[in-house]
A and B are shown apart, each in its own frame.
Chain A
């Protein structure tokens, strides 16, 4: 163990998380709450009240977009630095520790460097497609993330507008777009390595989208909804309700445990009978659901890794084979956009996993443990202490705050896991990659799908 380095990484994470989320929080509050409130105050005395109303509504509508636009670049900077420092710890190195205080400003400096670099279009390249490719690569990661915003803020009224009844479908549609950009980038660069990289990206994305979609579809089947907010809300109330553990099959147990603790055996058996109506078959189905949803989470994380081209599936940009794959010829700001989008995709994939499998913004502590603590008193005390920011300024909404807190913890844990994988595994070969996708993951996904279809009948799940 490398104590000092781990401490430095923790410090860096803390500082940068503040740098990432305070601006987002502030911007959302300013545009979504402060300005509309001021406008409506002014509008009361003004003659043109409807104009003020219109502008204040427009501000509210723009809040989700604004928060994402503020969030993505800063977050990507943080994630690059986080990955470099964490990898340095795994690989007995130091990592960037000079720029700014202990390397905190390294990625900011890198970003500035990339912005000022010459933007080269190679001879013989298709200039239009060459320029469009990074944009098309980056755009889906912005609008694909929108429905998630409602789910991870606990359906805050400012973000309800971006929620869709078919959110999962929309996210998947957006997630399948970037591959077009990769093929475009590979082809338009007029470079053979880029071309091979682009073609690899296409083959890989097509093969791994199937297990990815099957995994998410099975979760939607368990939840009985395509609405990400609904899926996240169903999982509230502790770790036993999360989709990674049975997709609601353990909810009955979660509900029955308080009765067991208080010694009320009649209520215990009544609750169990309500949620597990078929006795032994229900128990069997619960076990099956728990195992298969765990597998589904693994399937999702594996194929998501392949979707966003991370080690061990980073074949489109395999450094030791294809120099840098599809982005070999890119430099300056275009390369920066590719880089930005890659890390944003990692973040979005982790947020999807959080919402679909890890209970969204819900805390992992079961309700019956929370019930033992004086939570009411604590929250009342906090409310009176922070009266001004919570009630007067509406700067701090406790529900949204805790949602965001747990989302941050969960998402960055998954990101950390991805970094750990990157620090451990070698790369697949392209034919082995295809074998793994089509011969292992797709059948496994289909089998779990069938198991879930049948096992769900015997248990009262979230949807039931």
Chain B
């Protein structure tokens, strides 16, 4: 036997190599068609890069080649989970150009349906987020139960469950019946109890806490650098919410609080989760107030016709969508087609920060972090 000393230097160095994995666009958990190029060191992500464009439908170009009337119907598809907000942003921009005020009742209806839409979007997020965390079969379907009720209400008022085309330039499409308001009130009355149910299962679940606490910390400076908005930003210590900071529509008349956490060092995925839960409760409060305060009157200035024209000029307006600030910029030359469209989509900016957040997290956290940002891929690619 040789008495060779086995010093650490004498041992042959184990060869390790980083592995590049192409996650998506067919991966079951990338919320549609996101493609992420991951550099893995074992289970750990060293570098992540999102590759976009798999769902690019040239929405801006389509807007420039269609009449206002046609494009109104198309714009719900940009963010299919919160169609009310995209059409609201478009209609507000057109109304800015027209310098027109819309009927009082229409404003209230817009607030009401878009807050309903915010709830339904957050409910879907809640369900899919838990699927991302691996609760494949149990809890995720319960939020869908509530969402179904909201979609039924949407169906009754707009004729569609997802692509509403309800908010129109100059008002809203039609006035709901009295029974619709009753059903909505019934929903709002029991909704808080339902959220309590969800929280009872999820919020303090030890496995859920382990998966989300301290994971994917987003510092305020980083969030500002990348233009992150919405609940993801408010979880990191900013109270930016257009409904309060730059009030529009009838929001100044309503009594509600912006949900945010004073955590400038950065909010983790659990913070973003709890914020969305609180936002749902707050939206519910807003709907209840709307139901009490909504005035009578017409819901649209004049009946829409196919040859709808908008005055020449440049306009920009933004609304607070469930995912963040949704902006719409339009140049019009007074014809029935706009000259230039530009959308500022919250998902695009929020997704761009993902690469930074994912670094040095294990593979399992990719979906925990990516899901907590709440990105809608059609909204990213347009």
Question: How far apart sit A318 and B131, CA to CA, in the bound complex (Å)?
Answer: 11
Q: Which B residues are CB-close (under 8 A) to A424?
A: 135, 138-139, 201
Q: Which B residues are CB-close (under 8 A) to A193?
A: 21
A66 CB to closest chain B CB, in angstroms?
35
Q: Which B residues are CB-close (under 8 A) to A312?
A: 134, 207
Nearest CB to that of B207 among chain A residues?
A: A426
1/0 contact string of B125-158 vs chain A (CB within 8 Å): 0000011111111111110110000000000000
1/0 contact string of B357-370 vs chain A (CB within 8 Å): 00000111111000
Does B19 sit within 8 A of A, measured CB to CB? yes
With known contacts A91-B137, A320-B29, A422-B137, A430–B364 Cβ distance under 8 A: yes
Interface residue total, chain A, C-beta cutoff 8 A: 29
1/0 contact string of A22-59 vs chain B (CB within 8 Å): 00000000000000000000000000000000000000
Q: Which B residues are CB-close (under 8 A) to A87?
A: 137-138
Does B304 sit within 8 A of A, measured CB to CB? no
Q: Size class of B's contact patch?
A: 20 to 34
Does B297 sit within 8 A of A, measured CB to CB? no
Q: Which B residues are CB-close (under 8 A) to A318?
A: 134, 364
Q: Verify A192–B19 contact, CB threshold 8 A.
A: yes
Question: How far apart sit A93 and B364, CA to CA, in the bound complex (Å)?
Answer: 27
Question: How far apart sit A205 and B365, CA to CA, in the bound complex (Å)?
Answer: 22
Q: Which residues 253-297 of A have a CB within 8 angstroms of B?
A: none
Q: Verify A92–B210 contact, CB threshold 8 A.
A: no
Does B43 sit within 8 A of A, measured CB to CB? yes
Q: Which A residues are CB-close (under 8 A) to B363?
A: 196, 321-322
Does A425 sit within 8 A of B, measured CB to CB? yes
Question: How far apart sit A431 and B43, CA to CA, in the bound complex (Å)?
Answer: 10
Q: Verify A311–B43 contact, CB threshold 8 A.
A: no
Nearest CB to that of A91 among chain B residues?
A: B141
Does A335 sit within 8 A of B, measured CB to CB? no
1/0 contact string of A401-439 vs chain B (CB within 8 Å): 000000000000000000000111111111110000000
Tell me which of B19, B141, B145, B210 contacts A429 (CB under 8 A).
B210
With known contacts A320-B367, A321-B364, A426-B207, A311–B141 Cβ distance under 8 A: no
With known contacts A426-B130, A429-B362, A323–B28 Cβ distance under 8 A: yes
Does B27 sit within 8 A of A, measured CB to CB? yes
Q: Which A residues are CB-close (under 8 A) to B132?
A: 320
With known contacts A320-B28, A320-B367, A432-B210, A311–B136 Cβ distance under 8 A: yes
Q: Verify B139–A321 contact, CB threshold 8 A.
A: no
1/0 contact string of B24-47 vs chain A (CB within 8 Å): 000111000000000000010000
Question: How far apart sit A432 and B138, CA to CA, in the bound complex (Å)?
Answer: 21
Q: Verify B135–A425 contact, CB threshold 8 A.
A: yes
Question: How far apart sit A427 and B365, CA to CA, in the bound complex (Å)?
Answer: 11
B298 CB to closest chain A CB, in angstroms?
40
Question: How far apart sit A93 and B134, CA to CA, in the bound complex (Å)?
Answer: 18
1/0 contact string of B257-299 vs chain A (CB within 8 Å): 0000000000000000000000000000000000000000000
Interchain Cβ contacts under 8 Å between A and B, 10 examples: A87-B137, A319-B28, A319-B29, A320-B136, A321-B29, A426-B207, A427-B135, A427-B136, A427-B211, A431-B43
B interface residue numbers (CB < 8 A to A): 19, 21, 27-29, 43, 130-142, 144-145, 201, 205, 207-208, 210-211, 362-367
- Return the 6 tightest CB-CB contacts between A and B, nearest first: A427-B134, A423-B138, A320-B29, A426-B135, A91-B141, A426-B133
What 5 additional pairs, Cβ within 8 angstroms, besides A91-B137, A196-B363? A192-B21, A320-B29, A320-B136, A425-B135, A427-B211
